[in-house]
Structure 1
Amino acid sequence: MGRAPFTRRAPFTRRDGAEALYVLAGLPSAVAGLLYAAVAVVVGGALSVTRVGGPATAVALRGARALGALRLGAAARLLGERIEPDARGGARAFLHLLVQPLVTALGLAAVYATWLCGAVLLTYPVQLRFGLNEITSRDASGTPRHGLHVGGLYFDTPASSLVVAGFGLALLVAAPWVVRAAVRADLAAARALLGVRAEDGRIRDLEESRSFAVEDTAATLRRIERDLHDGAQVRLVALTMHLAMLRETLPADAPEAVRDMVDAAHGDARAAIAELRELVRGIHPPTLDKGLDVALATLAARSPVPAEIRTELPVRPAAAIESIAYFCVAELLANAGKHAAATRVLIEAAQPGGTGLRVRVTDDGRGGARVRAGGGLAGLSDRARTVDGTVHVDSPPGGPTVVTVVLPLRP
């Protein structure tokens, strides 16, 4: 069942104590966050003109997310409010460091004005009876008065002290609702600046669905490749062998037409095998099973233009990413041989920062390559875009042509 509506919650429950404790726990968190934000701004501003400015900003945002996670943890432990943190909301987390002192101050003011002041005022008759209240003033006639006074009203008699106690009781009764409103403002700020936004959640669901579809497609293609390789191709090879044996065992007086038919069938079977092998390589190159570095080395060895390869791949990308990278390089090598009149090609594959895959193909051809609708480079861009990848072409007239493909490690 859902939580009771805000205006119908009964006061003086365990939740009320947890909310007050949550507000008090926010004070050290707010102070630490504000100090952290101030230091980050000063240090970040000083480093912004240096080469380490970008990494320093990334570290500062990561720290802001960590501080925000502590606040979300307090909400989960004390209030049972579980807010899914946004792992990519660094800027919003940093903004929360600036907003949290405001909402925390609001919560502390609510606790002070209700729970604390209410408790003090409720016990005012006891304070007055035993001389615990040290408030001393003089009235309009100059007579000393001991006790609480508001304007020209003095509450220094047993009867008037009961009025003060009644006001204190009213504050205590109102305290849960007042503090609850402040806590809701705090949680609203946390959800807006630290939690996953609704649109981000939908985007993430779509990304997960796309990732599953891409991986499932890659697995299906690998299965088709294996079936063709181990099934149809094996049968065609066996047929070719049988036709070769039949040709060798034909009697010497066999009609020439029969020999021609057997030779034609044998030739067609061999051509079918060659076409099937090309088809299999186009679906899923078997060399990709050994890793992208091995597959790219195989492409470089078969390249129509002499190719040098440099790879640094400490983490193996997903199979779908490897497949996209492979076919991009294959297309670029074919372009270098057919259109660029290149004499040398350099293939580079690396994982800068360990966050993605960067494949760069450079040729010394005539240059002038452009991304045109329906062209090969446009096809590469479309292929990369299916996993949020990019293709950048730098090909001035006269060359060289540098095509950089950037892909995530996982779709």
Structure 2
Amino acid sequence: MLITTPVRERSQRELAYALMLPFMVGAGLVHLVLVLLSVMLTANLVGVPMLALSVMAARGLGTANRRLARAWAGVRVPDPGPFCAGPGLLNRLGAALGDVTGWRAVIHSLLRLPVAVVACAAAAALWGGGLLLLGCPLWAQFSALAHLSPPGWPVAALVSAAGLALLLLAPWGVHLALAPERMLARTLLGPAPGDTRIRRLEQARALAAEDAIARLRRIERDLHDGTAARLVTLAMSLGMAQDELEQADQPERLQRARVLVDSAHRSAKETVAELRDLIRGIHPPALDQGLEVALATLTGRSPIPARFEADLPERPAPAIEAIAYFCTTELLANVVKHSGARHAAIEVQVRDGLLTLRVRDDGTGGAAIGTGSGLRGLAARVQTLDGMIDIHSPAGGPTVITVELPLHI
């Protein structure tokens, strides 16, 4: 594997990136000079629009550097949010001067100077030095290098071998030398930490709204197709029984009335049971006794054998308990419907202010958000409370899904 490393695409891309660094740094230096000049001229107010334009140019320069780092250095850097300004020149000027993404790009241009020098020097020393030493037997053919030519072929062979070793190690050396450059790109060219959290919460809010609408539609459908239909049947049965009772002096009419009343009674009990199930889906009564009792009851009702373990020295907030319960309900339903598992396990514990819920099964695997197993809505519910969900479900199983939630809101 070490011998084939130099021809790998990653090595070629990283070498090209290291060779482009001087030009990229040069553009950054020119921009830094413009920023400094604009700051010096702000005392006369002439530099204010110049500084705003410089910050906007820094945003563009940061976009170019981010794309190059993503394409050639293999850095996964998400795009920051777009530039937003209100109507009017003053609003645009103020938004440009306060643009966090632009100023972070300015800081990136400043801090990358020593980092780029190290990366370029490493690439030149490893690749250039390796090629130079590898060609040691040819030094005598060039007048500029003739005086450096080794005295005999054994020494020349050793020097060439050293050059070959440098070339073999060069891809790894350049990769390590570019590590600070990659770190700067990830830290300063992506969205600010606060922006990332805001964007994630906005996405979670949108998903939660969609999930809430879907739940309301499901409740409406259940009420319309189930409970409402049974109540209509109940009313019709009672009306028919009333008609029969008006002629109760006839034994056969009285018997029919009794049958109708018995049917209405059964329908009423079934309707009450359906309403209880629906209410339990909105807020499970078992949660009144705590999350551990509710999950133990849920596990005991599982159609497949399931093991339950809990370590809850502290009771979570009611909203957290409800989310954890519904997550467990959805995950257990996925295990039964989609996984083909024979056994499942549910673990819940509290550690360092976090509630960790873990559901395992020995099914076929392949679970992922967006595959139609309800995990998308589950992720939305979890993210609305600043939680996270991790899915490990390779093809063939087993599946382990971990949900982490804050203990208190």
TM range (shorter): 0.3 to 0.5
Larger Rg: 1
**TM-score, length-scaled by structure 1:** 0.42
**TM-score, length-scaled by structure 2:** 0.42
The structure that is helix-richer by fraction is 2
